[in-house]
Structure 1
Amino acid sequence: MVHNAMEKAVQSMEKMLKIRINAPIVDFETEPLRPIRELDLLGRFKAHLVKLVFSGDIRGAFYFVILDHEVDLINSVCLPDEFKSDKRTENKLMKHGFMSEIENVIAALSMKEISEYLGVQLELKVPQIQIIPCDQINEFFEKENKIYKTAFHVKTVLEGVAVNVAPYFIWILDENFIKILKLNTSDM
């Protein structure tokens, strides 16, 4: 189920961005998300953190963490020229909105995979976007682990093959995921 969801995430990101994407390592475990040391090493560099909360039979959230310069690169490749200037507020909103839509589609596909595989009802909320220094992201996830009482997490990097982008795609799920998974199957 996890690998199918990641495969769909890769395919959808490739179609939207028109670049090749790999997800070489998919890390999933029955424990809270551990700190991502690579982000701490980036210090005060800014990252866009998109959070999509879902509720229903299972509670949790999907996260998309992408560095500021990667957002600029994606926008320069994918958006029309008239949106590339930061001088107008509308252009800045368009850039944030574009990344939010990419994450929204990827999260919706992942949620659909979980929902269909486990036969559960889930409802995706409106995306929340914040720009924070990389060295504060692990602290953010520590708080998220507590909020959702994380019992299962998934972490992967969606790496651009020819374009230098490598956003993190992360799931945090509560203990209901584990309970329902055990009732429905013997594999993840």
Structure 2
Amino acid sequence: MLDKLNETELEVASKLVFDGLSMAKRSMEQILQSPISLEKVDYSSSVHAPLPTYDKHAEESVHVIKTQLIGELKGTSHLIFSEDEVAKVFKACLPANLIESDSPESKMMKMGFLTEIDNMMAAAVITEFSNFLGLEIYGHVPSLNVMKAHELNGFLEKESGEFDSIIHFKAIFHGKELDIAPDFVWIFHEEFVNKIKNLV
């Protein structure tokens, strides 16, 4: 979607995402009690190209955490962790006895922690969009889906449904305790692009 904006508009949209992620980074630092750097954000999106592909490790499991956007701007955000990234998050943030346990309770707590991470990141970016655009936008309660990487493309295509604008970006969070680069796929109505254009 971002390629439909001119250079000035793209700069504004990119800054909104980066500022939101910077807010999320500070929250993660509080959880870890350790500094984190947000080294790079890569944008790669196009309404003329298919959704991002995730077939490099086709049999690897991926964790997809979905947040439905509600309010004046409709859409969905997806935070995508690889198996390795999930393991890193758990190791950095959770006690060893919980990580090593396979009990139903521990599994529920681990999955619940992942959705809280998503809630924190998505909410930070949504807040930046909401404040800049002057719109009431909120995130619904996140839901978690675990699937094989080769199933992810079909899942995202189905999720895109009636929405016609896509933002895809990867953020690299690096620190002593945590080093991850999750994917974010946000799918919006075309109205998002129009709002940016009207304000720039």
Both structures adopt the same fold (TM-score exceeding 0.5): yes
Q: Whole-Å Cα distance in 2 between the matches of residues 152 and 72 of structure 1?
A: 28
Q: Whole-Å Cα distance in 2 between the matches of residues 164 and 12 of structure 1?
A: 15
Alpha carbons of structure 1 residues 6 and 86: separation in structure 2 relative to 1, 3 Å? same
**Counterparts of residues 1-188 of structure 1 (less than 5 Å):** 1-17=16-32, 18=34, 20-27=36-43, 29=45, 31=47, 34-37=50-53, 39-145=54-160, 147-162=161-176, 163-183=178-198, 185-186=199-200
Q: Whole-Å Cα distance in 2 between the matches of residues 128 and 83 of structure 1?
A: 21
Alpha carbons of structure 1 residues 180 and 56: separation in structure 2 relative to 1, 3 Å? same
- How does the TM-score come out when normalised to structure 1? 0.84
C-alpha deviations, 1:99-129, integer Å up to 9, x for none? Answer: 1101101111111111000000113111110
The one-letter amino acid of 1:153's match is I
Q: Whole-Å Cα distance in 2 between the matches of residues 22 and 3 of structure 1?
A: 9
Aligned residue for 1:54, secondary structure, equals: strand
Gap regions ≥5 residues in structure 2: 1-15
Q: Whole-Å Cα distance in 2 between the matches of residues 48 and 76 of structure 1?
A: 16
The one-letter amino acid of 1:31's match is V
Aligned pairs, number: 183
- How does the TM-score come out when normalised to structure 2? 0.80
Gap regions ≥5 residues in structure 1: none
C-alpha deviations, 1:107-161, integer Å up to 9, x for none? Answer: 111111110000001131111101000111122112222x241324142233435
